[in-house]
Amino acid sequence: MESQGDATHRHVCANVAMRLVSGPDTDARVAAALDYTTRDPYALRATFTRACHTPVVWVFARELLLIGVARHAGTGDVQVYPSGDDVILELNSPEGSARLAASSADLRRFGAQMLAIVPPGDESAFIDVDAELAALDPAVFARGDA
């Protein structure tokens, strides 16, 4: 696991070995790069890669992983829950679905790293609302599309 950052933003990442636990390629190895930054304090990015396949990126609430290592979390496209020594990530989209297993210990370590840089309830302190509003396209508001 790696932690880095500047004076205002911090970042942690981890490479986690996973395996498919459903579908035709059951037990296929999947490399997952987990990435969390204070620039997007409510979400984590997971990039899943299998040999000879295009990487697949999912962005979902960090809370799903933090809760899911202990008990079932999520009701939609992303669900996370413990299963023995593993944690299961169920990912569902119109393009397909996957059920992946990862070491509970690995995911708990990554969760601890996230919490070390942004404690629970402090996420909003890392969002610059004025900067976010300034980045919005004023043309959208002029047309009334918002």
**Token pair recorded at residue 118:** 């942004």
Kindly list the domain boundaries of the chain, sorted by start residue.
Answer: 2-143
Integer Cα distance of 15 and 43 in angstroms: 17
Integer Cα distance of 107 and 110 in angstroms: 5
| Protein fold of 2-143 | Transcriptional Co-activator pc4; Chain A (2.30.31)
**pLDDT tens digit sequence for 63-118:** 999 999 999 999 999 999 999 999 999 999 998 899 999 999 999 999 999 999 99
pLDDT at 140: 63
Q: What is the DSSP string of the chain?
A: -EEEE-SS-EEEEEEEEEEE-SSTTTT-EEEEEEEEETTSTTEEEEEEE-TTS--EEEEEEHHHHHHHTTS-B-SSSEEEEEETTEEEEEEEETTEEEEEEEEHHHHHHHHHHHHHHS-TT-GGGG--HHHHHHHS-HHHHHHT--
Q: What's this model's pTM, rounded to 2 decimal places? A: 0.82
**pLDDT tens digit sequence for 37-66:** 999 999 999 999 998 889 999 999 999 999
